[in-house]
Amino acid sequence: QNHEVTFLGDFHTYPQSQRTALRLLRDLIGSTSRSTSHSSSRSSSRSSRPSRRARPSQKKIIWKIGLEMIPTKYQNALDDFQAGRIDVRRFHERIHYQEEWGFPWQNYAPLFEWARENDIPLIALNRPKDLFTGSATLRRAGRRGELHERDQWAAGVITDQFHDHAENPRNRNTTLKMLVLYGELHLARNHLPRELEQVSKAFLGKELRNVCIYQNVDELYWKLARERVEHLVPVLRLTSGDYSVVSGTPWGKLQSLIGWAEGEAPAPAGTAADGGEDTGEDANEDSRSDPHLEFLSAMNRYGDLICHFFGLETVSFGSLNVRQIADGDFRFLSDLQDTSPLRRRLFQKLVHSNQTVCIPEIHTLFVPNLSENHAAELAAVHIFNQIHPPDLQETSIRTLYEHWMLDSAFGFFGSLLINPKRKCDFKVDHEKRIRELKRSPRKQAFPEELLARKLTVRNLRRGPALFDRKPHRSVSRSAAWISARAVGQILAKQLYHEFLNGSLTARQIREFFMQADRYEIRFKPEVISLSKTDLL
């Protein structure tokens, strides 16, 4: 609240980094912020009393989000995309996304969607590559010179935003703040933050106050690990007054970078793999290792670790197939013809909505992306299905909900053993998202999500017993499945939390999943409210 600019570090290949950014945006900015300062100023002036002058603390905060990933010369294309005038494929063409940035689009897409829903302007900050001229000294300095020029450029663009805001008389009852998502190499105190202070002081007559929020600094993680508290500390305050969020692991970051470098990133919008036209750029695909086989290999490794943790016999993963929406091939769904119509329709809907799902009848795993989280989760789900084979003829929504919830809980718990910092939405997060969806002018586009989140909150409010009543018969099975998955994740977080503090042993957790029907599932308030202290 005391800073005009908040810098947030970004590890471009690591999806947890962008998810943390989105969580911070939702919490820091909130869904009530609006970018249209004109209407906000007029409405606030009409509602205020003429005899009372607004104090600075009463001014409406206008937020903008600055992005390193887009060069400033493409600001018009960015505005067109956010306004819905062009689709994502045309947007990528206009900004030359693969050439200019090239990191997985799906990591950043939710941020763009959230900003669009909440009318938060996105500002392109990166210096265009064709403008890297600089002095002879900077050219000889090579990359350090380029980094310095980019920092200066971004600092100038940010300063311009504050200058233009202050010069507009219609903004007199508002104050501007920016959240800037930038690579952490730029966010060392003597780089972009210092450039912003110097540039803003020169052109505005005062320094723009800024704070840096770093993410997943390896040295800090290992320091916490040596003290055995890495799983207990979500945020660190640094001596500089900045912060460091601990939302992932060093090996998770490294694996994401290796996967991207080896070409395992999702296909860009508009390519054949993404359902668009063939660009002819896949000629070298055969020379690469099969990412699906590597994903199964990772599942096998994680599965062995999960079985060892629970004292279970190892299971085979050899019969499984991996499918993704990027494959552009849904013919595998035709293999569900011998499945009950209810299950067939459920899986078809879940696949088409790009959910993470295990389809045991046809030994198929469907995943949005080939991440370590999904590999560990689906390995655990496969193990759980060996322990508790699903009743393929079951039609009771209550029984199905219970099984889906436990299936999700075991899967998410397994992924926490591999990535202890994996996040999920808690009750307060679901409530916040429901409010966002209800206010959104595009809420009709998300009926399934809204229904699933309402069902999740309703089930979490019933406690202590989760299943004292059946979900309403009119609830669609896909919405119930999504809700059960969300509730299962919270249950997994609770079990993992109690395992870490010594309240439960691995054997007790195994027995719970082995005989879950004998237990009354309770959700402790201090765990449900973890998002208040662990929301990042």
Q: What is the mean pLDDT of residues 112-140?
A: 75
Across 222-354, the runs of DSSP E, i.e. the strands, are 235-237, 243-245, 321-323
Which pLDDT does position 137 carry in this prediction? 38
Q: What pLDDT is attached to residue 53?
A: 45
What integer pLDDT is reported at residue 37 of this predicted model? 38
Query: pLDDT band for position 522 (50/70/90)?
Result: low
Model confidence pLDDT, tens digit, residues 259-283: 787 665 444 444 333 433 333 333 3
Q: Please give the Cα distance from 438 to 434 (Å, whole number).
A: 6
Q: Give me the pLDDT at residue 536, please.
A: 33
Given a contact cutoff of 8 angstroms between Cβ atoms, the answer to whether 9 and 193 are in contact is no
Q: Is residue 355 over pLDDT 80?
A: yes
pLDDT: which is higher, 338 or 61: 61
Report the pLDDT averaged over residues 40-55. 40
Q: Of 222, 252, 282, which one is at a domain's C-terminal end?
A: 252
pTM of the prediction?
Answer: 0.62
Model pLDDT, residue 272: 34
Q: Which domain holds residue 227?
A: 5-38+59-252
pLDDT value at residue 43: 39
DSSP string across 286-323: GGS--HHHHHHHHHHHHHHHHHHHHT------TT-EEE
Question: Are 330 and 456 contained in the same domain?
Answer: yes
pLDDT, tens digit, 9 for 90 and up, residues 469-510: 444 455 688 899 999 999 999 999 999 998 988 888 999 999
Phi, psi dihedrals of residue 60, rounded to the nearest 5°: -70, 135
Q: Does residue 383 share a domain with residue 244? A: no
Q: Classify residue 230: in a domain, yes or no.
A: yes
Which are the contacts of 493, defined by CB distance < 8 A and separation ≥ 6?
412, 416, 424, 426, 527, 530
- Mean pLDDT for all residues in the chain: 80
Q: Is residue 277 part of a domain?
A: no
Q: What is the DSSP string of 132-196?
A: ----HHHHHHTHHHHHHHHHHHHHHHHHHHHHHHHH-GGGTTEEEEEEEEEEGGGGSTTTHHHHH
| Among the ranges given (131-140, 353-362, 407-416), the one the predictor scored with the smallest mean pLDDT | 131-140
Whether residue 335 is found in the same domain as residue 202: no
Q: Are residues 197 and 321 in the same domain?
A: no
CA-based torsion, 96, 193, 167, 117: positive or negative = positive
- What pLDDT score does 131 carry? 65
Residue after which a domain boundary falls, among 252, 273, 300: 252
Structure tokens at 24: 């911070």
Min mean pLDDT across 159-163, 335-339, 399-403 is at 335-339
Listed residues 252, 272, 305: the one ending a domain: 252
Which pairing describes strands 5-10 and 174-183: parallel, antiparallel, or unpaired?
A: parallel
264 inside domain: no
User: What is the number of domains present in the chain?
Assistant: 2
Q: What is the pLDDT of residue 495?
A: 92
* Residue 29, pLDDT score: 79
Establish if 53 belongs to a structural domain.
no
Query: Does 112 have pLDDT greater than 50?
Result: yes
Kindly report, residue by residue over 281-296, the tens digit of the pLDDT: 333 434 345 788 888 9
- Predicted pLDDT at 399: 82
In a domain, 259, yes or no: no
**391 and 511 assigned to the same domain:** yes
Is the model's pLDDT at 190 over the cut of 80? Answer: yes
In a domain, 283, yes or no: no
Instruction: Look at residue 519 and tell me if it is in a domain.
Output: yes
Q: How far apart are CA 266 and CA 152, in angstroms?
A: 32
275 part of a folded domain = no
What pLDDT does residue 120 have? 93
Q: For 236-250, what is the mean pLDDT?
A: 88
Please give the pLDDT value at position 24: 87
Q: Which residues, including other chains, have CB under 8 Å from residue 177's CB and lie 6 or more apart?
A: 3, 4, 5, 6, 61, 62, 63, 64
**Quick one: 297 and 245 in the same domain?**
no
- 137 vs 373: which has the higher pLDDT: 373
What CATH number corresponds to the domain at position 214? 3.40.50.11550
Q: Are residues 219 and 297 in the same domain?
A: no
Partner residues linked to 359 by β-bridges? 364
- Token digits for 123? 């500002």
Question: Lowest mean pLDDT: which of 142-156, 196-210, 244-258, 522-536?
Answer: 522-536
* Percent of the chain whose pLDDT exceeds 70: 79
The pLDDT of residue 59 is 82
Question: pLDDT value at position 274?
Answer: 41
For residues 395 and 341, membership in a common domain is answered with yes
Per-residue pLDDT at 38: 39
Confidence label for 353 from pLDDT (cuts 50, 70 and 90): confident
Residue 372 token pair: 């370590």
Inform me whether the pLDDT recorded for 82 exceeds 90: yes
Q: Are residues 13 and 104 in the same domain?
A: yes
Statement to judge: residues 208 and 352 lie in one domain: no
User: Does 302 share its domain with 210?
Assistant: no
Query: What is the arithmetic mean of pLDDT over 25-49?
Result: 49
Rounded distance, CA 123 to CA 276, Å?
Answer: 28
Radius of gyration of the chain measured on its C-alpha atoms: 25
Does 87 have pLDDT greater than 90?
A: yes
Task: For residues 297 and 425, state if they share a domain.
Answer: yes
